[in-house]
Each structure stands twice: as structure tokens, then as C-alpha cells.
Structure 1
Amino acid sequence: MKTNIKSLLFAAIMMMGLVQLTNAQDFDPEYVKVTNERAKKIVENMDIADAQKADKVTDYIAKQYRNLSLIHDERDTQIDAAKEMYEGKKQEKKISKAEKKANKAMAKLHKKYLAQLSSELTAEQVDQVKDGMTYGVAPNTFKVYQEMLPDLTQAQKDNIWNWLAEAREHAMDAGSSHAKHAWFGKYKGKITNYLSDLGYDLKQAEKDMFERQKADNNQ
């Protein structure tokens, strides 16, 4: 009986959350403004000569931010409800279900979004959008690895870049700066393990890089 009451309360909380999310699809005008400006800033840093195309891409990016927020909000509502109503394994199961549902929805949205961008942009420009949505962490980090380890082989560079590019795909769908950086942190851990297995001493390599930069600045 107690379990049934909890299930009913959980369902009630979920219904309230869904009502809020339905209303959220109208979106607060201030939030629409923020996402539009965020998207516009990304597009302004790209070389898109056609103004109509630039506007279309800006709209795609802004809507992606808003659509992602709906998924994030629904997931967070479900997780909060699970934490409020359940404990132990039951709570873990409810949270896992909410996360899996959100991940599935984000994967579907991600695929659609990339198709939209690719219909208007070159592959290089699509990468610029990805970098714009993730603060340029992937190319900047890749540059640091190459400066830190100048003797990397092409195959090693390719492996490092592939991990960073994969991290970027996940980070694009994350809902906050912290969550985006967390994805890169996860993949940088993989890269660190990979390079360590190859015999690289990353702490020493970083120290050597700073010494080289210092010497260059003193010239």
C-alpha cells in the first residue's frame, strides 16, 4: 500500500512537471533573447556571406539550445521527484530511467540538428558551430597537446583528436558550462592514460613546454 501511494505521488509530481514543461515550450522571452544572442555570436564568428543563410543557421542554433533545455528540464524534474519519493535501489532505478530517456531524446535531436546544419554549411563550418557551442575546448586542447608533445606521430595525433571530437559531440548537448567541461575532462582522462601507456611523462612534458615558451618570450 505504501509503495502504491509513493507511485501515485511520483506520478502526480511527474504530471506537474510535464505541465510546466508544456508551458515552457512558450519560453520566457528573456530566455529566447539569450539563446538568440548566443547563436548570433557563434554565427558572427563564421564566414557566411549569405545573410539569409546566416539567419537560418542562427535560428537552428538558437532552437537547439531551447530544445535541449526542454529535455534537460524534464530529466531534472524526474530525477528530483525520484530523490524525493524513493531511496536505495528504487531511487537509482528511477534516476537511471530518466537519464536513459533523456540521452535517447538528445541523441535523436543531435542527429536532426547536425542534418539541419549540414544542409546549409560546409563540414568545416559545422565544426565551427560545434566549437562555438563548446567554447573552443577541442581545438584549443589539441593545440596544447601538440605543443606539449612535439614528437607525437600522426597516428597518435589522430587518436587524440578523435577523442576530443567525441567529447565535443557530447558536450554540445550538455546543459551548462560545468557539464560541457566535464565531458572534456572525462575524455582527457582517456588521453592521459593513452599517452602514459606510450611512455610519456605528461608532468615533465608540461614543464618542458613552459620552459620553451619562456625561452621564446625572452628572445
Structure 2
Amino acid sequence: MSMKDCLPPMMMKKRPARVLSVQASGHQLLPADAARFMLFFLAAIFFSLLSFAQQDANYLKVITERSAKIINTLGVQDSTHYNQALQTVVLQYAAINEIHEEAKAATQQAKANSTNTAALRVQLQAIELKKKNLLAAKHQSYLQQLHAVLTPAQVEQVKDGMTYKVFPNTYAAYLDMIQQLTAVQKAKIYDWLKEAREEAMDAESSDKKHAVFGKYKGRINNYLSAEGYDLKKETEAWQQRLKAKAK
């Protein structure tokens, strides 16, 4: 993007060759003052753009470090594959953020411009559907790129790294809490938590990722209750066993 692209429309208009005065704060500025005023105005824009660039640089640094922590646990020996995997994860974080931010901006604009509740509801549904479709497409291409340079086991590790290992930790907790679970019940819990991980990978923040797992854990708890388990008693007994192990 050029500096011209960043300037407000008023600064892109063609001006006469000789500037006699500039109106500011109700006062006429002499040519020298006008030049100083314009330099100050351009400087303000420059530092504003610099601030935005710095924010982008800071965000890139954060997601690069976050991605490196994940990739560094995989034991990738090939430097080319390592760099490709790292770049793929970084770009995925950036893409997820961009999709969510664009949807958020579109939602705010729709709410600000709409005076019809029914029409707004339809518009918001369309925005949400577009976001969902974009995330799904990016999710699929992301996994394809990872599988091109990583083993299936390493891809699983990347997924767990992006979701704070909530899937394996929660699954292990359920098995430890209710040790009499049947094979069918274990499979059901496993599949739901795995599905939660796929959805959580596309969430825009840590809180949103954990919220996805919270939704699925609610589903699992309802299922287990329907299967005849008293989750309150199971949880209390489990906590007692954990305390006993810690002694």
C-alpha cells in the first residue's frame, strides 16, 4: 500500500501550484505558517501509520513465538519442513484473526446502519454464515499444508498445541473420574472432545477456545447423566482420590 492509499481524500485532491493560505481553527495562515501546518499534519499521519505498523509487527511477533513453541515440541529434523510448518501455523493464526475481525467489523456496521430488527437479524445471520464458511475452508487447507510437511502424529500435536491440550487432558480426566465407563461411552466422549478441538482451533482467543470445550463438556455431562451416572458423586469421589494421591 502506498502513502497515497493511506491519505484521507482531502489530501489526494489536486491543488493549485501556489498555496496562498490555509484555513485552520478560524484563522488565516500565512504561506510559511501554512507550510508548517501541513508538515505537522503530514507528520501526524506518518506517526499514526507507524503506530499501526508497529501494532502489526507486535502481533506478528506474538503469533510467531506462539507458533514456534508448538513446532519446537514436534522434533522436526528437516529444517525446510520445520520452517514450512512454522510459517503455516503463523499464517493460520493471522488468517483466523483476520476472518473474525472482518466479521466483527461487518456486524458493528450492520447494527449501526440498520433500523429494521428483522432485516438486521437476516444480515447478521449472513455475516455469521460467511465467517463460518471462510473458517471451514481455511481449516481444511491448513490441515492439508501441515500434512505435506509433518507426520499425522505431529499434526495431532499441532492441533493440541493450538488448543492448550484440552482434548487429551479432559479425556484422561473423564476416564480417571468414571473408571467404569464402557467402551461405547469412552468412544462417545472421545469423539465429542475431538470435534470440540477442531472447532476450538478456529476460535479467535483463549477464552473462546475454552468456551467451545465447555459447550461440548456440557453435552458429555448430559449424556453421562442420561446413562445413569451421578456426576456430582463421581466428581466428589474423584477429588478425594486425587487428594489421597497427593499426600
Between Structure 1 and Structure 2, which shows a larger proportion of helix residues?
1
- Larger radius of gyration, structure 1 or 2? 2
- 1:200 and 2:229 are equivalent in the alignment: yes
What is the CA–CA distance in structure 1 between the aligned matches of 2:96 and 2:243, rounded to whole Å?
43
Q: What is aligned with 1:72?
A: 100
Determine which of 183, 191, 202 is the counterpart of 1:154.
Answer: 183
Q: How many residues align?
A: 194
List alignment gaps of at least 5 residues for structure 2. 1-51
- 1:143 and 2:172 are equivalent in the alignment: yes
- 1:118 and 2:147 are equivalent in the alignment: yes
What is the CA–CA distance in structure 2 between the aligned matches of 1:68 and 1:213, rounded to whole Å?
38
Q: Deviations over 1:76-109 (max 9, x none)?
A: 0111111212252222111111010010011111
Q: What is aligned with 2:11?
A: none
Q: Deviations over 1:33-55 (max 9, x none)?
A: 11111110111122222232111
- Mapping for residues 27-106 of structure 1, pairs under 5 Å: 28-87=56-115, 88-106=117-135
Give the aligned CA root-mean-square deviation in angstroms.
1.6
* Ranges of 4+ aligned residues in structure 1 off by more than 3 Å: none
What is the CA–CA distance in structure 2 between the aligned matches of 1:166 and 1:121, rounded to whole Å?
21
What is the CA–CA distance in structure 2 between the aligned matches of 1:209 and 1:47, rounded to whole Å?
35
- 1:189 and 2:218 are equivalent in the alignment: yes
Query: Following TM superposition, by how much is the alpha carbon of 1:215 offset from its aligned partner in structure 2, in angstroms?
Result: 2.1
Query: Higher relative contact order at CA 8 Å, sep ≥6: structure 1 or structure 2?
Result: 1
User: What is the percent sequence identity of the aligned residues?
Assistant: 42
What is the CA–CA distance in structure 2 between the aligned matches of 1:121 and 1:154, rounded to whole Å?
31
For normalisation by structure 2, the TM-score amounts to 0.75
Q: Deviations over 1:120-158 (max 9, x none)?
A: 112211111011111111111111101100111222111
- 1:171 and 2:221 are equivalent in the alignment: no
List alignment gaps of at least 5 residues for structure 1. 1-23
Amino acid at match of 2:112: E
